[in-house]
Amino acid sequence: MSDIHNLSVAELSTALRNKSLGAVEIAQHFLNRIAQDKLGSFLSYSPEVTLKAAKASQERINQNQLAPLEGVPIAHKDVFVTKDFPSTAGSKMLVNYKSSFDATIVSKLALAGCVPLGKLNCDEFAMGSSNENSAFGPVLNPWDSKAVPGGSSGGSAAAVSAQLTPAATGTDTGGSIRQPASFCGITGIKPTYGRASRYGMIAYASSLDQAGPMAKDAMDCALLLGAMCGPDLDRDSTSLDLPLEDFTAHLNQSIKGLRIGLPNEFFGEGLDGQVRLALEQAQSVLTDLGAQFVPISLPKTELSIPVYYIIAPAEASSNLSRFDGVRYGHRAKEYSDLMEMYKKSRAEGFGAEVKKRIMTGAYVLSHGYYDAYYLQAQKIRRMIAEDFKLAFSKCDLIMGPVAPSTAWGLGEKTADPLSSYLADIFTLPASLAGLPAMSVPCGMSKAAKPLPIGMQLIGNYVQESKLLNVAHQYQLQTQWHKMSPLTSGNMSGDLE
Ligand code: GLN
């Protein structure tokens, strides 16, 4: 058998079922790898907690009482609250914060038999595209230690890519599952808004936040998504009241005759030549499988940037008001009155990007500016959703790049934060419309240290199955998702 860390969730599951591997052995193997991590991808882990869960899982296996993902390890982005590990959301504000309950998706995955490995680094409160906004330091891209892993779920993507965990949870508000998945060469899906419960997910922008899985391939994402989704109306009123779905049941359908839309706005001037080429090659693979490509237009694509960077900060300014030094997290040591305590606690606890967004949000919501910014943004958000509605009358699915380029260098965009906002252009539209979208590895750049390229697939509401099937059919024909920084030689020397 190949190394345990090479195995996918599906393969681990089979090995656990036929008892060729044990849950404790698998958990210990990943714990050993995590202990040697040089990427900064984990913020906390606990052999004690993990091995206890693995032993309990093995008992169930021994008694043939297997849950669907029995014994499969998973690590969680640190924006999901957990009883057994600290939950910081990448912020100094929540250093050492321990929740009294588990987020719904954390408990759902545990019920499905998953063994928790720990918590993963991310941009502070999920605000960022490079993981450089974490209060606990950046995460390095396993393919090139001088490159960012993407963000905000950078720790999740890097840890899966470096095989420190077979799978991870992530959150995507404006691209935070898709873009890091693309930068690290793994597969990730953001389901339709409302598919996965937001209960226990530390809120950034509530009308956009969605949880989803990040793993080696579409099959694994389908397995994990099935375990994560489901209504949770008592605790998240925006959760969709849909029956549980087995997303793996639709993975073997022919894509013959499937109409895939190519939005011309996604293939304009700003797109890196190597990304364009990789997408053209992916297109020809899908054409060989019988898909038909149709030109479509998403005319408001460019406006998704100002719209998102008004709505998300507006919601963030409201959501983050709970961090006041009284109820949660950091409290300043010295203060003379209540107001000063609030001010100092927040000034000390939040990082620069978070403060910037709180201020932007408060500004666009303030009397006199609300109509000019926030209300306009809401109107255009509606129009963006209408663009997709029209597009889906011409095609079944949309394909495009995840990001305009491959991973950029650490520190490269620090002096020009706007350029990192602009790089979100292809992920924001689906987020604003609440549509399911995923990232699928489709190439590598040509460079001394080649970097992964991702293709984005966007589906109509609740059509995750269609996305996952196309991705799976594509992965049956290609090897990009099998490429690993461990075997490419990139992880030798500085990272291993
Ligand atoms: N890069 C976007 C932002 O900084 C998206 C982040 C996310 O999806 N959480 O807000």
The answer to whether residue 342 is domain-embedded is: no
Residue 176 bears catalytic tag: yes
Q: Contact, 214 vs 164, CB < 8 A? A: no
Which pLDDT value is given to residue 490? Answer: 64
Beta strands in 53-183 (DSSP E): 73-77, 115-120, 167-172
Residue from 87, 130, 152, 445 carrying the catalytic annotation: 152
User: How many C-beta neighbours within 10 Å does residue 255 have?
Assistant: 19
Given ligand 1 and candidates 121, 131, 152, which is best to mutate, with the most ligand atoms within 8 Å of its CB?
Answer: 152
Is residue 189 assigned to a domain?
A: yes
Q: Choosing from 176, 182, 345, 465, which is the catalytic residue? A: 176
pLDDT score of 217: 98
Partnered with residue 177 across adjacent β-strands are none
Range of the domain at 56: 4-264+390-488
Tell how far the Cα of 305 is from the centroid of ligand 1, in angstroms. 11
Note if 190 is an active site residue: no
Phi/psi at 181 (5° precision):
-60, -45
User: What per-residue confidence (pLDDT) applies to 489?
Assistant: 67
Structural domain includes residue 52: yes
Judge if the beta carbon of residue 124 lies within 6 A of ligand 1: no
337 part of a folded domain: no
Q: What is the pLDDT of residue 417?
A: 87
- Classify residue 380: in a domain, yes or no: no
- Which CATH number belongs to the domain containing residue 153 in this structure? 3.90.1300.10
120 within some domain: yes
340: in domain = no
Which pair of tokens denotes residue 58?
């093995």
8 Å CB contact between 46 and 91: no
For the chain, the domain total comes to 1
- List, for residues 330-353, the tens digit of each pLDDT value: 999 999 999 999 999 999 999 999
Residue 1: per-residue pLDDT: 47
Calculate how far, in angstroms, residue 378's C-alpha sits from the geometric centre of ligand 1. Answer: 18
For residue 11, tell me if it sits in a domain: yes
Amino acid at site 468: L
pLDDT of residue 183: 98
Q: Which residue positions in the chain have pLDDT lower than 50?
A: 1, 492-493
Q: What is the pTM of this model?
A: 0.97
Q: Which of 13, 41, 57, 77 is catalytic?
A: 77
Q: Tokens at residue 222, please?
A: 């389908």
